[in-house]
Amino acid sequence: MTSHISGQRFAELHLDHVQRAFGDTVALKGMDLTIKGGEFVALLGPSGCGKSTALNCLAGLLPLTGGRITLDGKRIDDLPPEKRGFGMVFQNYALFPHMSVRRNIGFGLSMRKTPKAELKRRVDEAVRLVQLEEHQHKFPAQLSGGQQQRVAIARAIVLEPPLVLMDEPLSNLDAALRLEMRTEIRRLHQSLGLTTVYVTHDQEEALALADRLVVLRLGEVQQVGSPEEVYAHPVNQYVAGFMGYRNMIPVDVTSQEGEHATVHTDDGIKLVGVKREELTGQAVAAVRPEDFTVVSEVGENTLEAVVEIVEYHGREQAVEARLRNGSPLHIRTNSRLAPGDTIRLKVPVERVLVFS
Ligand code: ATP
C-alpha cells in the first residue's frame, strides 16, 4: 500500500538521566535511553514501575525533575507538548464525543491551520489506512472499542509526527481484537516508517511488536535489548520472571565452573544450569514451564514431583505439581497427566538459569 503519510525521521532521541519525582516518590530514577529514528521501542514492566511516567515525560505532559531529553542534539524537555508534535494514543482513546470520526482525525490538522484541500486529502488517507471508510461519518459512541482505537491511531498518525507514543493502547480490547490491532499497529509502524514508543505490561505484546525492549522496575531500567536477547538472556531474576521463567526454585550453590553452576535443593536434588550472576551460597534456579520434559528414567537434571492440578489448554496441558520439599512447580506439557501422578521431569542444562 502506498501512502503519502509518513513519520518525520530524526536520527536520535536521547534520554539523559531523566528523572521524575512526585514528592518523596521517585517514579523514574535517572533513565538513560537512546531511540533511533524508525525504531519500535517497548517500555515493559508491571503496574507502578514508571513506564507511563517515562512516556508522559517524553510527551511533555510531565515536567522532568532531573536530566534532559534531546532530539538530534536539540534540547526538547523544556518544550510544551504541542511544540514537540508527538502523536499520542492512550488506553482510553480520549476522542471528542461530539465530533465525527473525520473531525476527530482532522482536529489536529485544523488546529495547525492546514489548508482545506490538504486536510481533506490527509484525513481521507488516514481513514483508509486504519480501514474506517464505512464509519467515517459516525460519532465515537456509535463505534466499537476497536474502531475507536483505530480513530485514536489515525488521529495520531495524520499529523506525521516524528514520534508516536502509545500507552497500553490495546488493554481495553478483547483478546481476539487485541491480536488483530497488534498486527495493525506493527503494519502501520513499518509501512509509514514511524518511530514508536509503546508502553505495556504485557510481555508477549512487547516481544511481538518491538525492535527493542526496555524492562523497568521501580523506576529503574533493568535491561535494554532485542526481544531475542531479553527473552533468551535475561540479566536478572526480575527480568527472567517477566520473561516467562515462572519457576524460581530455591537452591544452594555446590560448585561453579566457567559459565555453569551446579546447585542442589534442600532435599538434595542436583541441577546444573547456566550461571547468570556471580553466585555465593543461596541462589535460585529459574526454569520456564515449557522447558520441562516428562521422562521415565532418573538421570541428570531430573526432578521428581507429584501432580496436583491439570488444566486442559488444547494442544498441551498446564500442570501444577509439587516437589518433595514442598516447592510448587509449573509445567507445560503434552504428556497426559492426572492429579496424584508421580512424575519425573528433565530440563536441559542450557534451560536452567541460576541467579544469586
Ligand atoms: P501503570 O501501568 O499502573 O500505569 P506505570 O508503570 O505506568 O503503571 P507510573 O504510572 O509511571 O507506573 O507510576 C510510577 C510511580 O509513580 C508509582 O509509584 C505511582 O504511584 C507514582 N505516581 C505516578 N503518577 C503520580 C502522581 N501524579 N502523583 C503521585 N505519584 C504518582
pLDDT tens digits, one per residue of 231-268: 999 999 999 999 999 999 999 999 999 999 999 998 88
Instruction: Give residue 4's pLDDT band: very low, low, confident or very high (50, 70, 90).
Output: low
Ligand 1: which atom is nearest the Cα of residue 20? Answer: 16
The count of structural domains within the chain is 2
Residue 108 one-letter amino acid: G
Ligand 1: which atom is nearest the Cα of residue 52? Answer: 7
| Predicted local distance difference test score (pLDDT) of residue 191 | 87
5: in domain: no
**38 conformational bin, left if phi > 0, alpha if psi -120 to 50, beta if neither:** left
Residues 216 and 123 in one domain: yes
Q: Which helix (H) or strand (E) holds 102?
A: helix 101-111
CA distances from 330 to 67, 264, 321, 323, 345 (A): 42, 19, 6, 11, 11
190: in domain: yes
Ligand 1 center–CA 200 separation, angstroms = 13
Residues 104 and 184 in one domain: yes
Residue 77 one-letter amino acid: D
Residue 91 one-letter amino acid: Q
Residues 212 and 269 in one domain: no
CA–CA dist 337, 316 (Å, integer): 11
Ligand 1 center–CA 54 separation, angstroms = 10
Residue 306 one-letter amino acid: V
Residues 98 and 171 in one domain: yes
Given a contact cutoff of 8 angstroms between Cβ atoms, the answer to whether 99 and 107 are in contact is yes
Cβ of 25 closer than 6 Å to ligand 1, yes or no, is: yes
Residues 230 and 272 in one domain: no
Rounded average pLDDT over 105-133: 92
Rounded average pLDDT over 50-74: 95
Instruction: Give residue 92's pLDDT band: very low, low, confident or very high (50, 70, 90).
Output: confident
Residue with the smallest CA separation from ligand 1 atom 14 is 50
Residue 186: exposed, middle, or buried by beta-carbon count in 10 A (0-12, 13-18, 19+)?
A: middle
Cβ of 49 closer than 6 Å to ligand 1, yes or no, is: yes
CATH of residue 100: 3.40.50.300
Cell of 194: 514511524
Instruction: Give residue 181's pLDDT band: very low, low, confident or very high (50, 70, 90).
Output: confident
Domain C-terminal end among 197, 220, 237: 237
Residue with the smallest CA separation from ligand 1 atom 26 is 22
Cβ of 7 closer than 6 Å to ligand 1, yes or no, is: no
N-terminal to C-terminal alpha carbon distance within the chain: 51
Cell of 346: 528433565
| Predicted local distance difference test score (pLDDT) of residue 136 | 93
Residue with the smallest CA separation from ligand 1 atom 28 is 22
Residues 223 and 289 in one domain: no
Ligand 1: which atom is nearest the Cα of residue 216? Answer: 6
Rounded average pLDDT over 181-188: 90
Ligand 1 center–CA 238 separation, angstroms = 19
Cell of 330: 509449573
Q: For a ligand 1 pocket test, name from 53, 92, 218 the mutation site with the most ligand atoms within 8 angstroms of its C-beta.
A: 53
CA–CA dist 250, 31 (Å, integer): 32
Residues 145 and 250 in one domain: no
Cβ of 47 closer than 6 Å to ligand 1, yes or no, is: yes
Cell of 64: 522532568
CA distances from 143 to 100, 180, 195 (A): 11, 17, 28
135: in domain: yes
Given a contact cutoff of 8 angstroms between Cβ atoms, the answer to whether 110 and 118 are in contact is no
CA–CA dist 123, 90 (Å, integer): 20
Give the model confidence (pLDDT) of 313-338 as tens digits: 888 999 999 998 899 999 999 999 99
Which residue reads 494442544 in cell numbers? 315
Helix crossing, 145-157 with 116-129: angle to 10°? Answer: 140
Residues 135 and 169 in one domain: yes
**Does position 230 have pLDDT exceeding 70, yes or no?**
yes
Rounded average pLDDT over 267-284: 92
Q: Look up the domain containing 251 and give its range.
A: 246-355
DSSP lists the bridge partners of residue 250 as 284
Residue with the smallest CA separation from ligand 1 atom 16 is 27
Rounded average pLDDT over 4-25: 89
Ligand 1 center–CA 27 separation, angstroms = 6
Domain C-terminal end among 187, 207, 237: 237
Coil/strand/helix, residue 173: coil
Which residue reads 526432578 in cell numbers? 303
Ligand 1: which atom is nearest the Cα of residue 50? Answer: 11
Instruction: Tell me 266's DSSP state.
Output: T
CA–CA dist 97, 83 (Å, integer): 25
- Establish how many alpha carbons lie within 13 A of residue 337's alpha carbon, considering only the half-sphere containing its beta carbon: 29
Ligand 1: which atom is nearest the Cα of residue 56? Answer: 11
| Predicted local distance difference test score (pLDDT) of residue 287 | 97
How much is the mean pLDDT over the chain?
93
Q: Does the CA dihedral 170-36-130-176 come out positive or negative?
A: negative
319: in domain: yes
Regarding pTM above 0.85, the answer is yes
85: in domain: yes
CA distances from 21 to 48, 54, 121, 217 (A): 13, 11, 43, 15
Residues 140 and 26 in one domain: yes
Instruction: Give residue 1's pLDDT band: very low, low, confident or very high (50, 70, 90).
Output: very low
| Predicted local distance difference test score (pLDDT) of residue 171 | 87
| Predicted local distance difference test score (pLDDT) of residue 145 | 87
Domain C-terminal end among 207, 237, 267: 237
| Predicted local distance difference test score (pLDDT) of residue 2 | 54
Give the model confidence (pLDDT) of 209-226 as tens digits: 999 999 999 999 999 999
Coil/strand/helix, residue 75: strand
